[in-house]
Structure 1
Amino acid sequence: MKFRQDTTSTEEAEGRTVPEPRPAVALIPVVVVVAILAGGIGVLEFPAELMLICSAVVFMIFGACYGVGLDQVLTDMGEKIKRALPGILILLSIGMLIGTWMAAGTIPLMVDYGLELINPSYLYVLSFVVTAIVSTFTGTSWGAAGTIGVALIGVASTMDVSLAITAGAVVSGAYFGDKLSPLSDTTNMSALAVGANIYEHIRHMLYTAVPSSIVALVVFLIAGRSLDASSVDLGVIDGTIAEVQQLFTLNPVLLIPPAVVLVGSVLRKPPLIVLLVSSVSAVVLAVLVQGFSVGDAFTAAVSGFTTDLLPGDVSETVTELVDRGGLHSMYEPAFFVFCAFLFAAALENSNVLRVLLSGLIDRLRSTGSLVLTTLLSGFAIINSTSNALVTYFLINDLYGKAYKKRGLHPVNLSRSMEDSITITEVLMPWTVSGAFFASTLGVANFDFLPWAVFSWTGLVFSALLAFLAPVTRGFGVRKSAEPAE
């Protein structure tokens, strides 16, 4: 679930033109920013927010040399935040959802079921499959990760198996649904950006989603089967189950909050309303079933659930399991959104990307090279703007005419967007989605990146289909019914 935005820049809206730098000059700030992001975040582990602000300053200084004023950047940033406000509210409401589901006993119930029913050898596979189902039905990767994903991480933590692999499986499953669900805003907006029918778009994505899913299932199955079952401390698992059952009253009625999310999503109700109603139902259950006071339930919603709300002593294992959620837990990701939009506004107004890519597109001679360049550009831009919807329209603006000239159907471009933008944004810690998943699952991005198989194999299969098209008679590459320009 991402943020809707208009990609019209301030200059375009006011009818002004901004002089563009030469490609060799435009490359300078890009190199500097890559060094700041890669070196500052990846190597020196400086705060990502500060590195984004520093990178934004680089582009603002560069833009100022070509007549782009600070007021233009801030105005553009303000417009982005205005249009992203519903998404920011959803981000905060997911924190509230986790806190209230903990207080209601909903997530402890899921963990209890998981510990009793899941064989450690199949935890990774089930983490992918279950999260994929939830994400497909709800159309939101964030919602799937913030609910069932949190429960699965709790199961993995208790079983003392790899949190990195479990998180990678959750991420893969979450983005399976975000990519293929007709309820997903990113799926709808990527199709809209190129003017494709949403269902044609989804069917065309199956050419890369199916093999990516198969690879993911095989990887998670092998990783799970390689576990030494004797290394899993069954005593700790049994003890955790007994402690959770003692601390919480567990029964199927606690599944009402997730049922509200599923039903509301299927009925295509506004996500924010659905999440709030689910949280309210969880507060009611926390009071009626778990015996918490209304004040305690509200505290869990705002500050997060903690073991201080539970009677008696609580083990360290259960404490790590249930201490999470609340509006406050999402303050850092929400602030990150503001930093990301400052960076995106500075980048877009500098016109650097348009200058660098326009010359490259003219030199592309084959379908394979065109698709590969689209994929790499999408990956680079989403990691620069941290906003999928802005990136969709920017990519279509850059490559749409090139696809038409080669007689390619728009679904080829929209699929390339999904494979390089939607499902890869989560991999980098300086993106909004990356920050959300890392904070929600409690696993660093670079730790789960190798195991987020679905999120990077889609890009590989998308490129392969394009390059192999002359041999496979165009398998997976759809031609347009309209004549090429």
Structure 2
Amino acid sequence: MNDCKINKKKIYEILCLCILSIVICVIKDISLIYAFVVGIIYTTIVSLKSGFKLKEIKSMAYEGVKECSSLYLIILLIGATVSVWLSSGVVPTMIYYGLEYMQGVNFLFASFMLISISAIFMGTAVGTISTIGVAILGIGKGFGIPMNILVGVIVSGAFLADKISPISGLLNLTLATTEINYKEAIKSAIYTMIPTMIICAIIYYIIGIKYEDSVGINSILELKNAMGKEFFISPYLLFLPIVIIILSIIGIKSSYCMFSGIIVGSIVTCFFQKIKVLSLLKYIIFGFNANSTSTIVNETLISGGMISMVSVIFIVIGAIALTSILQGTGIISYLTKDIIQKITSRKDLILKTGVISSILTVITCDQTMGIVLPSKLLKEKYKKLGVNKSILARTISDTGTIIAPIIPWNINALIVNLVTGISCTEYFRFALLCFVAPIVTIVFAFINTGNYKKQQKIESVKEV
């Protein structure tokens, strides 16, 4: 833990300025890069006056940005993947058959369950949203379901990956930093995951009843016919998403899975959809737009390509640079130190784990710091109070990890916005998992406190 040379007043000035800048950008719909630049400049000025050298600050920012270089590639691959899956006919095929087989069912409930299962197998929330999620959105639009509701459902199901998927990068980071294995983690996670899933599923089912008969058979047939006219539709095209899921299951890295999907999708685009290579490259770089006589097809099958992700990459770089400076100068450690020192009970421990993890996710615009720092700072407290480290991992996953997509300036929320066209402020209230999981964790903290005290008394009697 770094000693903080910056005085208390200046630390809170930095924090207030950073938060205010972000809030203004969100309200005014201005790129968040400006908020992060303001934060970096002011933090640098204060740090220099407090005894840090410019070379040190530049090194903090550079190392942080460098460590996340693989993230920038994944963001670009997401932009390319969506375009290729549209142009290849994979997404249109999924929409075509989905309109047929999901007709008459509670679509919101079915979508939540389908996305949840897919996310666990794929191991990546943003990967699930940018592939299976895009198809679900197309089907939902055909059924006349409001897009903000549907995106909320998709986000809920997709971010289950970061919580319990054995091949999730974030979950494996949680396991590594808390020093437990997957078996221990999943046994602990079940206690909060099952009630969370049941609550979300029931609410989505109730909301979904309203939309079960929102579109007539004629509208569905019209959309299906338009898809069939514009694209080569075949069940064989469904092998591409199946293969990607299989690659994810066997543990292939997300970037390799996406790259494989782009290569195979490109081949399908050229040979089955009869699209020229130059046109395909244009779609990958600048985005895909369906050129159909059907308005709903043109509105549904659209992507921004790799170029649309460049702005996200700049925002991510800004967020990471600011976070690295805040961590390197000891500001983050200072803000969490007092909270940790005042923990005296199991209930406090679990509640404050969730608070620290969530605050770090909110401040740093990414889940990584909300996982790593609480794990490092609180492991000894868990040991001292006799609380299993699997509860530390579970609490982090249920709070700091899961709330990321409902924070407008978070990297995940920005990617969801670009992929779906729906902003966080529109979908966040329907992303139920992101609210229910932390609430269930808090409830369990209070319920289990009594059991913990009883156990402590029993152990004390045994020792006597």
TM bucket normalised to smaller: over 0.9
Contact 2:367 2:401 in 1 (8 A): yes
Describe the SS at the equivalent of 2:287: coil
In the alignment, which residue of structure 2 is the partner of 1:144? 128
Describe the SS at the equivalent of 1:438: helix
Cα shift readout 1:284-330 (whole Å, capped 9, x = no counterpart): 1112211112222222222222224xxxx522211111121522232
In the alignment, which residue of structure 2 is the partner of 1:202? 186
**Are residues 68 and 158 of structure 1, via their aligned partners in 2, closer, same or farther at CA, if it must alter by over 3 Å?**
farther
Q: Of residues 7, 14, 19 in structure 2, which corresponds to 1:34?
A: 19
- The worse-fitting range, judged by mean Cα deviation, of 435-444 and 360-369 is 360-369
Q: Of residues 138, 147, 160 in structure 2, which corresponds to 1:163?
A: 147
Cα shift readout 1:100-154 (whole Å, capped 9, x = no counterpart): 1111100001111222222376121122111111111111111100001111112
CA RMSD for the aligned pairs?
A: 2.2
- The worse-fitting range, judged by mean Cα deviation, of 396-405 and 113-122 is 113-122
For residue 173 of structure 1, report the CA deviation from its aligned partner. 0.6
Q: Of residues 283, 298, 323 in structure 1, which corresponds to 2:266?
A: 283
For residue 67 of structure 1, report the CA deviation from its aligned partner. 2.1
Q: What is the rounded CA distance, in whole Å, between the counterparts of 1:148 and 1:88 in structure 2?
A: 22
In the alignment, which residue of structure 2 is the partner of 1:293? 276
Extract unaligned runs of 5+ from structure 2. 460-464
Cα shift readout 1:454-479 (whole Å, capped 9, x = no counterpart): 1121111111111221335589x9xx
Q: What is the rounded CA distance, in whole Å, between the counterparts of 2:259 and 2:250 in structure 1?
A: 16
Residue 47 of structure 1 pairs with residue 31 of structure 2: yes
Contact 1:23 1:356 in 2 (8 A): no
Q: What is the rounded CA distance, in whole Å, between the counterparts of 1:263 and 1:325 in structure 2?
A: 27
For residue 166 of structure 1, report the CA deviation from its aligned partner. 0.7
Letter in 2 for 1:128: F
Structural mapping, 1:337-352, within 5 Å: 337-352=316-331
**Are residues 404 and 273 of structure 1, via their aligned partners in 2, closer, same or farther at CA, if it must alter by over 3 Å?**
same
Q: What is the rounded CA distance, in whole Å, between the counterparts of 1:407 and 1:416 in structure 2?
A: 16
- The worse-fitting range, judged by mean Cα deviation, of 317-326 and 54-63 is 54-63
Return the TM-score normalized by structure 2: 0.92
In the alignment, which residue of structure 2 is the partner of 1:255? 238
Letter in 2 for 1:333: V
Letter in 1 for 2:282: T
Q: What is the rounded CA distance, in whole Å, between the counterparts of 1:108 and 1:235 in structure 2?
A: 18
In the alignment, which residue of structure 2 is the partner of 1:129? 113
Cα shift readout 1:48-104 (whole Å, capped 9, x = no counterpart): 221122223232233223223343233222222322222221221121111111111
In the alignment, which residue of structure 1 is the partner of 2:343? 364
In the alignment, which residue of structure 1 is the partner of 2:413? 434
In the alignment, which residue of structure 1 is the partner of 2:462? none
Contact 2:64 2:321 in 1 (8 A): no
Letter in 1 for 2:290: T
Contact 1:105 1:290 in 2 (8 A): yes
What number of residue pairs does the alignment pair up?
456
Q: Of residues 82, 85, 93 in structure 2, which corresponds to 1:101?
A: 85
In the alignment, which residue of structure 2 is the partner of 1:403? 382
Describe the SS at the equivalent of 1:398: helix
For residue 437 of structure 1, report the CA deviation from its aligned partner. 1.0
Q: What is the rounded CA distance, in whole Å, between the counterparts of 2:293 and 2:308 in structure 1?
A: 22
Cα shift readout 1:334-381 (whole Å, capped 9, x = no counterpart): 222111112212221332221122122222222112211121111111
Q: What is the rounded CA distance, in whole Å, between the counterparts of 1:81 and 1:356 in structure 2?
A: 23
Residue 451 of structure 1 pairs with residue 430 of structure 2: yes
Contact 1:260 1:274 in 2 (8 A): no
Q: What is the rounded CA distance, in whole Å, between the counterparts of 2:351 and 2:253 in structure 1?
A: 36
Contact 1:371 1:416 in 2 (8 A): yes
Letter in 2 for 1:150: V
**Are residues 266 and 37 of structure 1, via their aligned partners in 2, closer, same or farther at CA, if it must alter by over 3 Å?**
same
Percent identical pairs in the alignment equals 22
Contact 2:142 2:215 in 1 (8 A): no
Structural mapping, 1:180-329, within 5 Å: 180-227=164-211, 229=213, 231-308=214-291, 313-329=292-308
**Are residues 74 and 315 of structure 1, via their aligned partners in 2, closer, same or farther at CA, if it must alter by over 3 Å?**
farther
Contact 1:305 1:323 in 2 (8 A): yes
Q: What is the rounded CA distance, in whole Å, between the counterparts of 2:294 and 2:165 in structure 1?
A: 40
Q: What is the rounded CA distance, in whole Å, between the counterparts of 2:126 and 2:58 in structure 1?
A: 28
**Are residues 303 and 69 of structure 1, via their aligned partners in 2, closer, same or farther at CA, if it must alter by over 3 Å?**
same
**Are residues 329 and 43 of structure 1, via their aligned partners in 2, closer, same or farther at CA, if it must alter by over 3 Å?**
closer
In the alignment, which residue of structure 2 is the partner of 1:4? none
Cα shift readout 1:229-280 (whole Å, capped 9, x = no counterpart): 2x42543322111110111111112123212311211221232222112211
Extract unaligned runs of 5+ from structure 1. 1-11, 481-485
**Are residues 449 and 19 of structure 1, via their aligned partners in 2, closer, same or farther at CA, if it must alter by over 3 Å?**
closer
**Are residues 388 and 228 of structure 1, via their aligned partners in 2, closer, same or farther at CA, if it must alter by over 3 Å?**
closer
Cα shift readout 1:140-190 (whole Å, capped 9, x = no counterpart): 111100001111112222322121111111111111122111100111110
**Are residues 253 and 32 of structure 1, via their aligned partners in 2, closer, same or farther at CA, if it must alter by over 3 Å?**
same
Letter in 1 for 2:377: L
Structural mapping, 1:77-116, within 5 Å: 77-116=61-100
In the alignment, which residue of structure 2 is the partner of 1:6? none
Describe the SS at the equivalent of 2:160: helix
